[in-house]
Amino acid sequence: FGSRIQWPLVLLFSPHAAMAVDGLDADTIFNTPCLGFNLDDLVSLPGQSTRSVEEVMLTTLFSRDVKLNTPIVAAPMDTVCESRMAITCALMGGIGVIHCNCDADTQAREVLIVKRYVNGFIMDPHVLSPNHSVEDVDRIRQLCDVSTVLITEGGIMGSRLMGVVTSRDIDFVEDRKTKLSEVMTPRPKMIVGMEPISLSEANQKLRQSKKGKLPILNEAGELVAVVSRGDLKKGRGYPDAATDPNKQLLVAAACPPYLPEIDRVKKLVEAGVDAVVLEASHGDSIQQVEFLRKVKQEFPSLNVVCGNVVTPRQAKPLLEAGADGLRVGMGCSSLFSSREGMAIGRPQGSAVYHVARFAHDHYGIPVIADGGIQTSKHMTMALTLGASTVMCGSLLAGTTESPGDAFFHDGMRLKLYRGVGAVDVIPRPTEAKYALGAADEAQHPNAGGCAVVDRGPAAALLPYLIEGIKRDVRRLGVGTVWQLHDDLYNSSLRFHVRNGR
């Protein structure tokens, strides 16, 4: 009897057999018929750690041409992301998507606030002429919170620089109608940079001058740009900030995929938006494909993220029409508020893996895991399954930077959080399209909102989440998101399905 059971035990506990049964690769798990998996249903097996947490790099792609240093995206919801949240996310290396539950001018203004928060070369500084008065400087300070104004001959960029007016020049001027020519610091007393000059050279000269601003002039003495000490300090304090080639913070904006909204896109582009995210719970529609083609025709260099989709079949028409990124997720949000019923969707883990693999193998396009993100472990699992970034809604809705005021209920400090399909969120011009009545509301109970516990500043929460992602990525034995995806697709990453709860 002993001889009959000895050989299978030796085989089972041999080193080679133990490695052979060590978890399952993603293809085996996700191609199992009749089963779908959420992010919580799987656990990744650890790999050999060869680097410290500080050495892990989370550089990734938000869309085809928009590169981030952190894979965290603020969702385009009016209780989640406006300029303040977008600035915080970008400073931490991620990106915020400004919601579209407002008119186009307001949305473009929010984008412009983000783009002007940090600059490399400031190409559109506040400029006045010597004939303007101190009152004009007061007006600029009140509207834009700027206390330094450059004075040019014609009062516009490209004119000959005459001087500069700062708060120190006008604080004690009693007659606010005094002309700026009488109070400005003249050009001969100013320190300037001359073209050609690189940004690093300009910053070095600014440090040495110990001034607040360094005007950049051409050979004719005309003002062409400005470098600010405030931007220099922000760059030092946030080394991982997500910025464009001009060192301005990255920002995206949402847009409904309807042809009349093309004017909104135009205003967003003029404001400097880096990517447009089409806002639709169901991305596989003729309207979205037509709108995408129209946007690509008029703004060929603009990155457009489409969605939402959960299958490769849904993703294919959008990718073929020129989508630069995809939002993946349907029916998995903590606050499901789309116009469809809850029965439509797909478990988020399965959706992310299948769409990400299809987009990666055939188009080289990144995907965003949109929904079901509550902790850093969900973020890591989404990245492990092929997502390049994760979109957060409720996780950021209760932070200080999210729009709206906090209130108290039963001793708890709360903030409002609502989905984009909520009746009180739908913009006025859109209400007629939905034509919501009592019967409709009864059929769509998901179009609502709730309150979430105040989480404090996002500026304190995001580093904690980033550290959690880095810790988990290190335990998987890789050092970058790119390596993580390579291990996923070559079956080096192994998984186990969790036991039933």
Q: In what order do the strands lie in the sheet with 127-128?
A: 127-128, 149-152, 161-165, 185-186
* 3-state DSSP assignment of residue 308: strand
Residue 19 is labelled as binding a ligand: no
Is residue 479 part of an annotated ligand binding site? no
Backbone angles phi, psi at 38, to 5 degrees: -85, 175
Strands, DSSP E only, in 310-388? 325-328, 367-370
Nearest residue to 351 via CA among 18, 81, 25, 37: 37
Q: 362 — phi, psi (to 5°)? A: -105, -20
- Both tokens of 12, joined, read 């089972």
Task: Compute the distance between CA of residue 442 and CA of residue 438 in angstroms, rounded to an integer.
Answer: 6
CB burial of residue 436 (10 Å; 0-12, 13-18, 19+):
middle
List Cβ neighbours of 457 (8 Å cut-off, separation of 6 or more).
88, 399, 400, 401
**Backbone CA torsion sign across 134, 140, 145, 151:** negative
- Given a contact cutoff of 8 angstroms between Cβ atoms, the answer to whether 252 and 97 are in contact is yes
Helix (H) or strand (E) run with residue 67 in it: strand 67-68
Q: Is 371 annotated as a binding residue?
A: no
State which H helix or E strand residue 18 sits in. helix 15-20
From 251, 339, 263, select the one nearest 74 (Cα to Cα): 251
- Specify binding-site residues for K(+): 331
Q: Report the binding-site residues for NAD(+).
A: 329-331
Binding residues: 329-331
